[in-house]
Copies of this chain bind each other. A is one copy, B any other.
């Protein structure tokens, strides 16, 4: 049965990302997604209930991956500086690897229905609060300086990451590893205890 063949779900999502990126969410029909992915409409509806659902899953896939990596980093109970570096590396590499998905989602997320929008917000909030808690604890322990609140540090790191879809090109001059190092060095230099 075509709908259960491995890779169908991924092909449908990839086709949806490309179409949403190229012509916008509104202008894209489920029929176009089906044609581009070369699947039947039944196969698509086996995995996704609606166009809304496609948009949701495009981003849900990325934030779920990022949350899993974040939880794994926190579970390792590293020194704060190492944890900050690991979180930044995870955010930069996952965002660079899914830059088109992140760009499409950032642009179209307001079109999601309330329930799906709330689900995504809850995931993002959990990410934000978990990272902020890492900074907070480092500051409380004196491993990090309190030059700025943990909230502002978090906003700066996420702000930088959220820019990546705007300028990042896989074949461009900026390298994800290099960026990770620079951002980590910058953040830790700012937070170095006196």
Residues on B with beta carbons closer than 8 Å to the beta carbon of A182:
148-149, 152
7 closest A-B pairs by beta carbon, nearest first, are A159-B159, A190-B190, A148-B186, A159-B160, A148-B182, A152-B182, A189-B190
Q: Which chain B residue has the least Cβ–Cβ distance from A166?
A: B162
Partner of A24 from the list B110, B157, B158, B160 (CB cut-off 8 Å) is: B110
Residues on B with beta carbons closer than 8 Å to the beta carbon of A153:
186
Does residue A29 face the partner (Cβ distance < 8 Å to B)?
A: no
Residues on B with beta carbons closer than 8 Å to the beta carbon of A41:
none
Does residue A183 face the partner (Cβ distance < 8 Å to B)?
A: yes
Complex formed: what's the CA distance from A186 to B155 in Å? Answer: 12
Secondary structure dominating the interface of A: helix
Residues of A within 8 A of B (CB): 24, 26, 106-107, 110-111, 145, 147-149, 152-153, 155-163, 167, 179, 182-183, 185-187, 189-192
Partner of A156 from the list B147, B149, B183, B191 (CB cut-off 8 Å) is: B183
A146: min CB distance to chain B, Å: 10
